[in-house]
Chain A
């Protein structure tokens, strides 16, 4: 199975400042079709997770453009250009290249 490792575990942020977190996979997430099967989710306190970024770098519908996903192969980054108070929560990366064993990272908790 593909192991997903996120860092840092906890990320203190300041509103208005940029923030960045990383996700590493134990195998490349590049499919033979040229797409990267890596997604990012945010789980706000007490809420269901919501999709932020899909296929590596595509913002989901309704997601503010301050969120961006980048990376390739086994190393990926989620960036917030200017953090807002509503961005607090736990961020998860997930690989869906191996659909027989979909795996999530352990999460990065963003705190103000």
Chain B
């Protein structure tokens, strides 16, 4: 059974960098795509970005200049870095498994989610 666990600081100061890690257990990370999603307090879901097993990435256009997602296959982890944070980046951050390649195509859906981690941006 695949499980995902987010970890990282719960409080980040404005203008600093938010760093989170998602640890995957139960399946090699190299077989799938992986995504970060966030949810500001009382609001809906927002896709942050995703990474493929070969390291290829896609980022939300509204965050692209500040986001980096990376993969560490040796630790079966993937990570999120968001620079120059403001209060608007305060949210619950989720990691999720986001599909897999199949032949010439890929299938994308978030079938396994972490429990989420709350990140507050405040001085």
Contact = CB atoms under 8 A, between A and B. Distances in A.
Contacts of A37: 108
Contacts of B98: 96
Contacts of B37: 49
B78 to A, nearest CB: 16
A31 B94 contact: no
B27 interface: no
Nearest to B4: A48
Interface stretch (A12-20, A78-86, A98-106): A98-106
Given A33-B105, A48-B94, A48-B116, A41 B110 contact: yes
B84 interface: no
B61 A101 contact: yes
A49 B110 contact: yes
A54 B111 contact: yes
A26 interface: no
A7 to B, nearest CB: 14
Contacts of B44: 90, 92, 104-107
A96 B35 CA distance: 12
A49 B111 contact: no
A48 B107 contact: no
Given A100-B58, A104-B45, A49 B109 contact: no
Interface of A: 1, 31, 33, 35, 37, 39, 41, 43, 48-51, 54-55, 60-61, 90, 92, 94, 96, 99-107
